[in-house]
Structure 1
Amino acid sequence: MKRHFTMPLIVASAMLSACTDSPEMATDNTLQSSKKNSTHAELSVRQGGEWQGKEYVADGFEFESVESFTSPEQLTDHSYYLRYEGPGWENEQVGYRLYLDWRNGIDVFVKSTTDIILPQVGQDGYDSYHELSEWGGDALKVGKSVGLGALGRWVDDGVEHFKNVGATHWKLLQNGPEKSQFSVQYDNWNVADINADVETIYTIESGDPSTMVNVTTSQPLTNLVTGLVRHDNVAYIEKESEHWIMIATYGKQNLLGDDLDLGMALFVRKDDVAGQFEGPHDYLFQFKPATDYEYGFFASWPGHPAQPQNQQEFEAFMEQKLSALDASQ
């Protein structure tokens, strides 16, 4: 049985009060209505063009938000078909995105505002979010890793991403105001001649930068892993509670050029862990063979005044999060 729970509102005592000032933003109806929410999730598909090989070609970048989606076979990295390359989700403190292609990495949108910003991201030149703007930006270099908390399968001293999948389906389950949630279903994920269907459900709630992930597989997998991208010259942190173990990195791993530290944490249930080790690009947890798993992650950037402003506050939040997870057992 899946283990779902509702996280309590968690605010570290060292954090400052939330920012009430917002940057200038586009004033389309979608954005204005989304500002009423404290959380948001979306997926937007490019319109008015056609596929030329593995690239979607159109005059300009016009997108339509959808509530369900099945990836076309030709979709790959940099196909210019999905706005910021996959689904995004956020709350007042932070945002995330998932590459909905073979990479299956999770990236981080840091925010300097409490406003909902995702509906405007990628609307002004497709990938301008790689540069720091008034609202924040895409801060994480994912590269060949799983990013922050995505899934893979460990084979031959490396992580296999979703290169061989029969079909990928995305569905919006809930969109605010206090909780947003979506699912991604992977059919016939083939790794080392073993096929499995995998469903992931991502949930974010107001007041807590964490994303909770519930995973269901069609059969127990001995090589299922999740991880945290490994960058050089940053602090590695590990903490545990009665039921959970959390790993984190903190330091100069922010690509936006603002010289601010980026903190990222990944937490899993102790009972679900078969092993913990370093891969070529990630710090990894390997799950025990099962068909249901639950874990989570969060990111922290001091450019947002409601998030930890230094490593000491970041570690204090890690400890508070672990206490809240144990209390939710």
Structure 2
Amino acid sequence: MKYLIIILTLLANFSYAQNMTDISLFWKENPEQVTEIASEEGNLYSKLGHHGPAVENEFVAYRFYFDHKVAIDVYNKTKPQLELAEAAWYPTEEKQKEGWGADQYKAGSTVGLGGVRLWDGEKPVYLDPVTKRTARVRKEANISYMEMLSENVPYKGDSIDVLVRVTVFSGSREGKVEAFAFCDKPVQFLTGVNYHDGTKTKEGKDYVATWGLHPEDVAAFQLNIGAAVKYNPDDFAKTEKADKELRLISKPTHYLSTYITSACEKEENFKGMEDFISYLEGLEKVN
């Protein structure tokens, strides 16, 4: 029995150590965690903790804005650890001085980092208005994911449902973004990464990337951060540099996947854009 207890303890510790991911979704007035929240109006931005569902691994955290933007925002870390459960996206200044991460990124009205919208052939289409918007979070063996389902979105004279999911993995900096269109005819998705005045940008063969300071006033200290979308060029009809966004416009489809990643200058091996680009170009191609 003694050896059985030791083995079970070791297995439990091994399993815990392997799953360096977590989820977070709660009402601002009630800190109790839940796995699903829905709204017929489609806007719970001001009522939810960190404005929507969030997910993290040891390197970075992401959140969806629960409103018409459905943008993906980033929480950058300076050292590998899980922080959402205690920091709830907004660590104290004391915690940041101790090396905790912070909300360095500013998505604004854009897609943020890898957020998904529709493209009508001329311009972006928000996943809005809706008859219902639902946020879900799930934590499994060695991954965690969050998703947002927007129902009955007007698009080209039709009404479609769009699901966007972000999955993070233990031991991997990259998060996978998937978009599903539930409709008869294929659609064009729009994704990309936003930038600000003074931000460095780069368009590679299979990525779009930025590096620099974001005009964010939530973090105690401003830090240069890198952000990028890694993609399969065969999935996209064109790329363009628009005002505030490096855009990727997909070919007609019902499903699209990309990978997103971010890094902070206080992390080891990410002292500038050159390090970040070198890291991106060393990643495997997206299938």
Identity %: 24
* Structure 1 pair 291–222 and aligned structure 2 pair: CA distance change class (3 A): closer
Alignment coverage as a number of residue pairs = 267
> Which residue in the other structure is 1:183 paired with?
147
> Which residue in the other structure is 1:308 paired with?
270
Matched, 1:269 2:251: no
Matched, 1:75 2:75: no
> Which residue in the other structure is 1:213 paired with?
177
Distance between the aligned counterparts of 1:115 and 1:277, measured in 2? 36
* Structure 1 pair 325–223 and aligned structure 2 pair: CA distance change class (3 A): closer
> Which residue in the other structure is 2:12 paired with?
none
Q: 5+ unaligned residues in a row in structure 1: which ranges? A: 1-33, 47-60
* Residue 24 (structure 2) aligned to one of 42, 50, 57: 42
> Which residue in the other structure is 1:232 paired with?
197
Residues 76 and 102, structure 1, Cα contact 8 Å, conserved in 2: no
Kindly provide the amino acid, as one letter, of the partner of residue 213 in structure 2: K
Distance between the aligned counterparts of 2:274 and 2:61, measured in 1? 22
Distance between the aligned counterparts of 1:40 and 1:312, measured in 2? 30
Distance between the aligned counterparts of 1:301 and 1:65, measured in 2? 28
Distance between the aligned counterparts of 1:260 and 1:308, measured in 2? 12
TM-score calculated relative to the size of structure 2: 0.82
SS class of match (2:148): strand
Please state how far the C-alpha of 1:257 moved relative to its aligned partner.
Answer: 6.0
Residues 144 and 281, structure 1, Cα contact 8 Å, conserved in 2: no
Residues 157 and 279, structure 1, Cα contact 8 Å, conserved in 2: no
* Structure 1 pair 304–102 and aligned structure 2 pair: CA distance change class (3 A): same
* Residue 168 (structure 2) aligned to one of 197, 204, 212: 204
* Structure 1 pair 94–188 and aligned structure 2 pair: CA distance change class (3 A): same
Give the root-mean-square deviation of aligned CA atoms. Answer: 2.7
Kindly provide the amino acid, as one letter, of the partner of residue 265 in structure 1: A
> Which residue in the other structure is 1:145 paired with?
110
1:254-297 C-alpha deviation (Å, 9 max, x unpaired): 63463431111012211210111133331111111111111111
User: Which protein has greater RCO, CA pairs closer than 8 Å, 6+ apart?
Assistant: 1
> Which residue in the other structure is 1:3 paired with?
none
Kindly provide the amino acid, as one letter, of the partner of residue 25 in structure 2: L
1:235-260 C-alpha deviation (Å, 9 max, x unpaired): 211222xxxx1010112236346343
Q: How does 1:87-236 map to 2 (within 5 A)?
A: 87-122=53-88, 128=90, 133=96, 134=98, 135-154=100-119, 158-175=123-140, 178-219=142-183, 220-236=185-201
TM-score calculated relative to the size of structure 1: 0.73
SS class of match (1:185): strand
Distance between the aligned counterparts of 2:57 and 2:112, measured in 1? 19
Q: 5+ unaligned residues in a row in structure 2: which ranges? A: 1-15
